Amino acid sequence: MTTSLTSRFPTPAPGELVAQLVPPPRFQQARLDNYIPDPDYPSQEAAKQSLQQFASRLTAQPSSSRGGLLSMFGRKKGPAAAHGLYLDGGFGVGKTHLLTALFHIAPGRPLYGTFVEYTNLIGVLGFTRAVEEFSTASVLCIDEFELDDVGDTLLMTRMIRELSDRGVPVVATSNTLPDALGEGRFAAQDFLREIQAMADRFDVLRIDGLDYREKDRIDDPPQLADDQVRSGARGDRVSLDDFEPLAEHLREVHPSRYGAMIDGIERCHIVGMEQVSEHNRGLRLVVLIDRLYDREVPVALSGVRVPELFTEDLLNSGYRKKYLRCLSRLGALQADGARALV
């Protein structure tokens, strides 16, 4: 029987959230060996080599270096501050592939999550307990790093500094250089010292290139009618929702739980997609599409065309890169959904 996402209110326990700090299904097989750099963009090969060298240093590092060394006075000496990597580039150039490839070859206990998953977990565990939990990691991988508000800025910059001071390197991906985080969304200049202190913990790898998803996309996916989307929604693992109730439901579920909300869904059907003109609604939709994309869930849509989903005001705002990434990913998922029904 078809299910509805609006009927799902997941409440994972803190332990479950920590256990879920692993790469999503789409990237379970991502390795450096199967990352194929575009020869037209040498920065891709350079980034691949840098990740390999970084992983080699992690493997060669003695385990004792993270726990502290005995000094000549018999006291424990803390590890040197760790220096991480920051993968900067446009969407679709393989940053997440490289990040998850690092996770798979890192020694010890690597952790992987999106920015929103980490911030939520800190909220659930409390800052001190979260830092203690993360400090046992061999490397902390943060995908889709972005600072959308002042609170997140202070939280994440402090966490990165504390983990770095404990010898835990952080590797992050983003569409924005670390010293430009927050631009266009809040008064970043008021927090420049905090942002710069965080940026100093990274070596930046710029990755250029084209969106690889464009290669496999249907140029103009069939525009499905409402009845096609509804009639195609058959099966226990298929969801069917009208867009407006779904958009309202996303207000009631914390974005960090969107992944749990769609667990077990193999195809998502949404009827009556409407253009989005308000940031809060738009950003919640961005997170939902990210989680659907992570889990390789095709999406069958009716209503507004994907390129027209967000208004020009949203696309020209400080969140522009997030919205463009969402359109890229949703276009790929829509193509998969259209193939399933047409």
Neighbours of 140 (CB within 10 A): 24
Query: Is pLDDT at 164 greater than 80 in this prediction?
Result: yes
| Mean pLDDT, all residues of the chain | 85
pLDDT, greater one: 14 or 28: 28
Token pair belonging to 229: 């989307």
Query: For 165-177, how does the pLDDT look when each residue is reduced to its tens digit (9 = 90+)?
Result: 999 999 998 866 5
In the chain, the percentage of residues whose pLDDT exceeds 70 is 83
Query: For 191-202, how does the pLDDT look when each residue is reduced to its tens digit (9 = 90+)?
Result: 445 556 667 788
Which of 156, 181, 207 is where one domain is finished? 207
- Indicate the range of 51-60, 216-225, 232-241 predicted with least confidence: 216-225
- Residues 203-214 have a mean pLDDT of 82
Q: Are residues 202 and 131 in the same domain?
A: yes
Residue 67's pLDDT band, with cuts at 50, 70 and 90, is very low
Beta-bridge partner residues of 260: none
Query: For 255-292, how does the pLDDT look when each residue is reduced to its tens digit (9 = 90+)?
Result: 888 999 999 999 999 999 999 999 999 999 999 999 99
The predicted model scores a pTM of 0.81
Q: Are residues 292 and 163 in the same domain?
A: no
Contact indicator for 308, 273 with CB cutoff of 8 Å: no
Helix/strand/coil (H/E/C) assignment for every residue in 293-328 = HHCCCCEEEEECCHHHCECHHHHCCCCHHHHHHHHH
Contact indicator for 313, 275 with CB cutoff of 8 Å: no
C-alpha–C-alpha distance, residues 47 and 43, integer Å: 6
Q: Check residue 216 and give its pLDDT.
A: 53
Q: Are residues 288 and 316 in the same domain?
A: yes
Residue 180's pLDDT band, with cuts at 50, 70 and 90, is low
- Specify which of 73-87, 111-125, 145-159, 300-314 reaches the highest per-range mean pLDDT: 300-314
Q: Are residues 199 and 228 in the same domain?
A: no
Instruction: Give the domain CATH number at 114.
Output: 3.40.50.300
Q: What is the distance, to the nearest Å, from the Cα of residue 24 to the centroid of all Cα atoms in its chain? A: 10
Which of 151, 172, 207 is where one domain is finished? 207
- Residues 101-124 have a mean pLDDT of 91
Q: Are residues 87 and 150 in the same domain?
A: yes
Q: Are residues 253 and 275 in the same domain?
A: yes
Q: Look at the chain and report how many structural domains it folds into.
A: 2
Q: Are residues 171 and 86 in the same domain?
A: yes
Q: Are residues 167 and 227 in the same domain?
A: no
Q: 15 in a domain, yes or no?
A: no
Q: Are residues 154 and 240 in the same domain?
A: no
Query: Is pLDDT at 336 greater than 70 in this prediction?
Result: yes
Side-chain half-sphere CA neighbours of 120 within 13 A: 22
DSSP at 276: B
Q: 12 in a domain, yes or no?
A: no
Token pair belonging to 325: 């990434």
Q: 6 in a domain, yes or no?
A: no
Q: Check residue 221 and give its pLDDT.
A: 66
Q: 62 in a domain, yes or no?
A: yes
pLDDT, greater one: 75 or 36: 36
Which of 158, 192, 207 is where one domain is finished? 207
Closest CA to 238 of 298, 289, 180: 298
Q: Are residues 256 and 183 in the same domain?
A: no
Q: 10 in a domain, yes or no?
A: no
Q: Are residues 190 and 216 in the same domain?
A: no
C-alpha–C-alpha distance, residues 204 and 84, integer Å: 9
Q: Which domain, by its residues, includes 298? A: 212-341
Q: Check residue 292 and give its pLDDT.
A: 97
Q: 25 in a domain, yes or no?
A: no
Q: Are residues 118 and 201 in the same domain?
A: yes
Q: Check residue 112 and give its pLDDT.
A: 96
